[in-house]
Each structure stands twice: as C-alpha cells, then as structure tokens.
Chain A
Amino acid sequence: NAGVTQTPKFQVLKTGQSMTLQCAQDMNHEYMSWYRQDPGMGLRLIHYSVGAGITDQGEVPNGYNVSRSTTEDFPLRLLSAAPSQTSVYFCASSGQAMNTEAFFGQGTRLTVV
C-alpha cells in the first residue's frame, strides 16, 4: 500500500550540479504533477502529466525538466541547480475522474549551496 513514493527525502546540491527527483505511484493513476513549497507561498505547480508520453508546464517550470515514459513514474530533473531552487518538492497523482483526491508523496527537501 505504498501510494506515491518520492526519493530521496533530503538532498544537498552544489550550484551547477544536476540531479533527478524520483516519483513513483502504484495506484494506476493517469495524472501526475510536481509542486514546490516555499515559505509564505504555498505549493506551486512546476510540471504535470495527463498520461504516459504527455507533459506540460505549470506555473513555475523554468529550470526543471520532466518526462513520463510509464504510467507509474514521473521524474523531475534539475539540469543545473541554483540556490533559488532550494525548496521542498512534492509529487502528486490522481485518477481521471473529476474531483478525485490528489495523493501526495512525502516530499523532498532540497538545499542548493
């Protein structure tokens, strides 16, 4: 009964380094998305996907890439980390029916120094 699994839970990067935040769900959900959470700003949508092979930009996509090769996985890539990307990152998934609940992973706390 895993739900949405994010790895790693914590990460420290140096400016300019690259990394991939992993997200996997085992509920056969079509919809997946990535958010970042910053103090005083709530959660903001970075990228989302409505199915395998289909992705689109959210509110704050700059500096991040995504791909969706399978229904289960939706990794988020930082190609060249910047201190402004220090944040807590959440992955979420939901089914196709309207108004279905979004299930969130436990989050990844990323610090870029």
Chain B
Amino acid sequence: AQTVTQSQPEMSVQEAETVTLSCTYDTSENNYYLFWYKQPPSRQMILVIRQEAYKQQNATENRFSVNFQKAAKSFSLKISDSQLGDTAMYFCAFMKGETSGSRLTFGEGTQLTVNP
C-alpha cells in the first residue's frame, strides 16, 4: 500500500514571497503519478500540478513548480509570488500508474495562509 505524508499541518507566508510545501511518499511501484490539489474555503478540490514519475523534469504551472526527487520519494510544491487567493488547504496525492485519476491516496494536508 502507498502512503503520503505531509509533515507541515500549517504554514504562512507574506504576499509576494515564496513558500515551499513538503510531501513525502512511500511506494514499491515504479510507475506512478503525483499531484498537488488546492482546497480553498469553498471546499472545491482544484488540481494545481501533476508529475509523472517517469519524467525527470520537474513540472511547472505558472507560479507553481515542484521539486520531484524520485530516489528520496519527495515531492515538494513551490509557490512563487504568493497571492492572497493562494490561501487554501493543499493536498499531495499519489496514483498508481495502472489506475485512473479518481483513485488517489492523499496526504494529511497543509493549511497555507497568505498574509497581506
């Protein structure tokens, strides 16, 4: 079975600064996908970024980027130029390569607060 661990229950950052959220996972699989989801107060789950394990290049989406260290089983999310709208709960998630995107293993979540 897979496990995903987010060791930072809460974090805060000043507007326009950079923050990094940590995620580690444990798996014996070689083919898998990793995701970061954002959950604002509206409760909606929003996909922020995804990473295929077979790709060495780190994924980026505008102000969001990841640092994927496959050997260390680490998958951190960096948010640059933080904005007030980035305030949300962030979840790291794992999916085995042979399953679909709706069967995910989630971490505990990190509540990020962006301060003006």
- Name A residues whose Cβ lies closer than 8 Å to a Cβ of B: 29-33, 35, 40-45, 48, 50, 58, 88, 90, 92-96, 98-102, 104, 106-107
Contact = CB atoms under 8 A, between A and B. Distances in A.
Contacts of B107: 42
B106 A99 contact: no
A65 B52 CA distance: 33
A101 to B, nearest CB: 5
Contacts of A45: 103-105
Q: Which of A42, A93, A106 has the most CB of B within 10 A?
A: A42
A5 to B, nearest CB: 13
B106 A42 contact: yes
A1 to B, nearest CB: 14
A29 B100 CA distance: 11
A92 B102 contact: yes
A50 B45 CA distance: 21
Name, among B9, B101, B109, the residue most crowded by chain A CB atoms within 10 Å (CB to CB).
B101
Interface of B: 4, 6, 9, 33, 42-45, 47, 50, 52, 91, 95, 97-98, 100-109
Contact of A48 (B52, B102, B105, B108): B102
Nearest to A109: B43
16 contacts: A30-B100, A32-B102, A33-B102, A43-B91, A48-B103, A50-B100, A58-B103, A88-B43, A90-B45, A99-B33, A99-B101, A101-B47, A102-B100, A102-B102, A104-B44, A104-B45
Contacts of B42: 106
A48 B42 CA distance: 24
A48 B50 CA distance: 21
Contacts of A58: 103
Contacts of A42: 4, 6, 91, 106-109
